[in-house]
Amino acid sequence: MPGNPILLCAPQSDLRDRLERELTDSGYPVSSAYSPAEAVAALRDARFDLVVADGLAVTGALGSIRNASTIPTPCLVVAPAGDVEARIAFLEAGADDVLPAGWGHRELEARIEALLIRSGRVQPAERSKAPGQVVTFFSPKGGVGTTTLAVNTALLLAGGDQAGSGFPGQKVLVLDLDLQFGQVATHLNLNPRFDIAGLSSDEPAMNDPEVASSYLTVHSSGISVLAAPSIPDAEARVGIEELERILALLRPRFDHVVIDAGSRLDPRTLWTLEQADTHIFVIFPEIAALRATSLMLGYLAETATLRARTHFVVNHIFPKELLKTRDIENLLRAHPAAEIPYTEVEMVRAVNEGVPLVISRPTSPAAAALRQVAQTVMGIDSRPPTPVKPERRGVLFGRRSAPRQARADRRRARSDGEAKGRRNRS
């Protein structure tokens, strides 16, 4: 955290200048060494809480840098962009974490914070008290990979993948809000003893975050899961009021709350979308799915008060290219944050075995695309914006916006429905 002295070891001036600038902007006192030998000497002379080094410049010297002072100093190493093999090699050589070149400022900060906490240089309690960021994954069409994306992104956010390219140290909760047939637990090979319907009906737990946390199932990667009910009709026990209480209880305990919101747009989902900081809408590149997405966006614009950053991710669940990305961009008037390639049997095997792709196939192109989704959630925009032609949207979808009166009617109908639901429960 700002205040912890950091030693830079980056002989190249471009890289050194950028790191110096960003670290200083974040409030860290920074000193520079121009070679591994200078870094070792500096670490013997003064106390530093972290070393940030150019991976290529320190290859072979990582061990001596780490162990130059009595208590080993954690090392964050900058690796060439997109070179997963190099990242793995740096980790094997002793780096504590690897930052791919092309990083964003927020990513640099997140990795440094995580390393400082892991190495005991700061206490988690010193972290900002901002409650967890809520990220929803939703698609108006089922079976398009919403759960796959939510689960893999959650693992990456927690640094639970195998390529060292996640964000270690981040506490992540996955909430399975596909309440009838949610499969988050299946994707992670978990057998939850407790679920969200049980928590909703347990009044003492609903008043105590410690007790509520006992309803979570923890995966070996460290991420926590609040599972969907095991009986489909138990969803009736989870209303907006219960969701509100659960989120208020658990959100402050996590850095990210990843919500698999499924594919049904009911008052509960609408409420959840309104609470989110980031939306990931999963797009299947087919006309009917895009039409459903367009209808959904129109409906949300008219009925919900959304404050989240909205991103689209195109998921190719079929081998054939059904629509050109350019057409999707034109139709949605947005550039997808990522495009997940078709991944033949590996994706299905990942679900069957309960070992998500970022763990089972960390070097696959699909895992790289999933990392892009996690970066998007972290506010790191790794893809250049693409100018799109808005006028083409109408060609396919026609007029979207409803008259002001109709909009007001729908809002009123929704709030009447919610009030009725609350009355029925009480």
Ligand X SMILES: Nc1ncnc2c1ncn2[C@@H]1O[C@H](COP(=O)(O)OP(=O)(O)OP(=O)(O)O)[C@@H](O)[C@H]1O
Burial classification of residue 387, based on how many CB atoms lie within 10 Å of its CB (0-12 exposed, 13-18 middle, 19 or more buried) = exposed
DSSP string across 302-346: HH----SEEEEEEE--SSS--S-HHHHHHHHTS--SEEEPP-HHH
The verdict on 322 binding ligand X (CB under 6 A) reads: no
Measured from the CB atom, the residue of 10 and 149 that comes closer to Mg ion is: 149
The two three-digit tokens of residue 360, written as one number: 């089972």
Q: Which of 31, 213, 263, 382 binds ligand X (CB under 6 A)?
A: 263
Q: Which stretch binds Mg ion (CB under 5 A): 83-91, 95-103, 145-153, 295-303?
A: 145-153
Task: Give whole-number Cα distances, 332 to 213, 292, 373, in Å.
Answer: 39, 11, 18
The verdict on 144 binding ligand X (CB under 6 A) reads: yes
Our measurement of the distance from residue 272's CA atom to the centroid of its chain's CA atoms, rounded to an integer in Å, reads: 16
The verdict on 147 binding Mg ion (CB under 5 A) reads: yes
Q: Are 7 and 39 in contact (CB under 8 A)?
A: yes
The verdict on 230 binding ligand X (CB under 6 A) reads: no
Minimum distance from residue 227 beta carbon to Mg ion (Å): 13
The verdict on 351 binding ligand X (CB under 6 A) reads: yes
Q: Are 368 and 82 in contact (CB under 8 A)?
A: yes
Residues 6 or more apart whose CB falls under 8 angstroms from that of 418 comprise 240, 267
Minimum distance from residue 243 beta carbon to ligand X (Å): 19
The verdict on 155 binding ligand X (CB under 6 A) reads: no
Minimum distance from residue 172 beta carbon to ligand X (Å): 18
Burial classification of residue 341, based on how many CB atoms lie within 10 Å of its CB (0-12 exposed, 13-18 middle, 19 or more buried) = middle
The verdict on 348 binding ligand X (CB under 6 A) reads: yes
Q: Which of 224, 343, 372, 376 binds ligand X (CB under 6 A)?
A: 343
Q: Taking CB within 5 to 8 Å according to partner kind, which of ligand X, Mg ion, none is near residue 234?
A: none
The verdict on 232 binding ligand X (CB under 6 A) reads: no
The verdict on 170 binding Mg ion (CB under 5 A) reads: no
Contact residues toward ligand X (CB under 6 A) are 139, 142-148, 178, 183, 262-263, 315-317, 340, 342-343, 347-348, 351, 366
